[in-house]
Amino acid sequence: MNGLATNLMQRVGAMRWALRLASALCLIALGSVSSVSSAAEAGGAAGAGAAPTPRAVPAARKATNVAIITIEGPIDAVTAFSVERRMKLAEKGGADCIVFDIDTPGGEVPAVLQITGAIKRSPITNTVGWINPNAYSGGAYIALSCREIVVAQSATMGDAAPIYGGVAGIQQMAPTERAKMLSPLLADIVDSARLRGYDEKLVQGLVILGVELWMIRDKETGEVFFIDEDEWAHLFATTPPRGNPRMPSGAAPGSERPTPTGGGEEEVGPFVGDTTRTDRSDFLSGSSQLPASVAEEVSGQLEVVSTRPNFAEADASRYEFVTYATDGRALLTLTESDLKFFRLAQDTVKNDEELKQFLGATNLHRLDQTWSESLVAFMTQGFSGLIVRGVLIVVFLLGMFLELSMPGVGLPGLVAIAALAGLFVPPMLIGASSWWALAAIGGGIAMLLLEILVIPGFGVPGILGLGLLLVGLVGSFAGLGEMFPGAGSGDTSALTWALATVLTAIFVSAVGMYFLSKYTHRMPIANRLLLSPETTRPTDDNSMFGAMSATRTGDAAVRVGDVGRATTPLRPSGSAMFGEQLVDVVSEFGFVDANQRVRVTSVTKYRVGVEGVTEETA
């Protein structure tokens, strides 16, 4: 019995030790799991907060200080001036990369070419065109002039044929004008392609019709080319495959090809389809519809030699067909995916942070157009520019009229000078104002003063003065590098709008002059400057104001309604005899001939206003 009890107690003790050991092992296991879980959570949190592993940035792209220059809205002379100013500011600020943030429908051809030229000549060679999100027309030229292109989501680039975007809106150009504009545009975009490594035939599809291309790839280097039907025949000695192109034009397969871009029946140039040319600076057109004269002009304007290979049948095994790119029936308009597929864009960049990673940059700084540049654009460009200039011309003419009618007051003259400054200073800031126009206006004013104050009668000085004034005001609308509006581009509508604006302003000014001459003394504001007739009776005041109110022979005795006779022509100032008194007077409406009867209409401290009357009404 005792043995059994002892055995039982030993078993119970062993079980207790086993339970204790199991409990300890469980605690150790739970601690280990907790530690692993905590470590995993910490690692996950660290992973979530850590920056993604930076990708390798090519040395040519790597930048430390990046300046972002925004180009938004229509491109005009003010835009070009602003972009060049900001590029110089970026250079002085130590930027080693300039990104052009582009969102534009296009704009004026001279302004676009000025910007692309500045980009290509810039000492900062690391330039990036960021299509964010649209680069139509002129925006495509600017993007292609940069060393690299990146795109925002849903970006679009293309449709870069020359059009006229005047005050009346976008209009199609006549064939002759279009042909004239094509040569500098084609030369610029082909030069950009050669300089930046884009396919020079593909970019032509943005500008002209008839550019039918097939995409092939070099098996050894991976480089892609876009070849036309003639190059395909030289390389593969077969007929190229057709079907649905990568860039659909909306035209049915086999439909009629587009008509010549330049218009007319001119012979196709020798550079079209010439795959064996020896001069590497020659223009190799991608369109069978381009006139010979345009091709020759483009060839003469190119500055960068071509590195495009001469495709021969011996090299056929080196290349592989990729896709039928475009049928040439419509201008190319490329989306985000198209731009990357055709090797025009490098990557998609959504925001400044991704741009910073793309460039491996440390600092990014945006350089936007200033408010003063926006104000200059509002005052000089488009329909708003016509309205503002028309108002300034009206203010200038009315101010000049009031100053001549009330000599000595000074305020109208200052207003006229301010309006003239508003007419010329903003264009001068962008280099678009002609000095000769300002000189013509000054000469016109001098001739009119000579006619009014020195030479009696309305003769040669008066006619010459009015002519100079009209020509100078129209000339103030001239654009950058133009003598007259539209002279640089051959577009007569710019001159028509300028002339219409000036003539309308002159008409409005004439109406204003009539009301000012007839009703000035009745206006509340003018009453503060003018004395009523009852207060202008003669007095014995010997003060300065009394002396100023006196005329040669006692003008103060003249009252409103008195009738006299002009002794000199009133144009508008002169002299009139009232009884035995010779009085200095000013005609308040129109010119009055000498010896014509006049009636006093207003009397102030500084002037006596009269109007011409007939013998019957006197």
DSSP 556-612: GG--TT-EEEESS-BSSEEEEEETTEEEEEEESSS-B-TT-EEEEEEE-SS-EEEEE
Residue 466: pLDDT band with limits 50, 70, 90: confident
The CA-based dihedral angle spanning residues 269, 202, 75, 145, taken in that order and rounded to the nearest 10 degrees: -100
Above pLDDT 70, what percent of the chain?
72
Q: What pLDDT score does 330 carry?
A: 92
pTM over 0.75: no
Residue 594 or 261, more confident: 594
Query: In angstroms, what CA-CA distances link 493 with 166, 342, 581?
Result: 8, 39, 57
pLDDT tens, residue by residue, 485-514: 655 555 567 778 888 999 999 999 999 988
Cα distance between residue 393 and residue 451, in whole Å: 22
Q: Which residues pair with 603 in a beta bridge?
A: 608
The CA distance from 235 to 221, in Å, is: 17
Q: What is the structure's pLDDT at 479?
A: 64
As a whole number, the mean pLDDT across the chain is: 80
Average pLDDT (309-321) is: 94
- Reading the block at residue 298, the tokens are 């483009």
HSE at residue 529, side-chain half, CA atoms within 13 A, is 15
Structure tokens given for 224: 């892609």
Mean pLDDT of 466-474: 89
pLDDT of residue 551: 42
The average pLDDT across 586-605 equals 86
Question: Letter for the amino acid at 151?
Answer: V
Span 596-617, average pLDDT: 83
Model confidence over 158-201: pLDDT tens digits? 998 887 655 555 556 666 667 778 999 999 999 999 999 999 99
Handedness of CA 484, 486, 492, 497 (dihedral sign): negative
Domains located in the chain, CATH noted: 61-159+332-369 (3.90.226.10), 173-247+264-331 (no CATH), 372-526 (no CATH), 531-612 (2.40.50.140)
Would you state the pLDDT for residue 614? Answer: 78
Q: What is residue 99's predicted lDDT score, i.e. its pLDDT?
A: 98
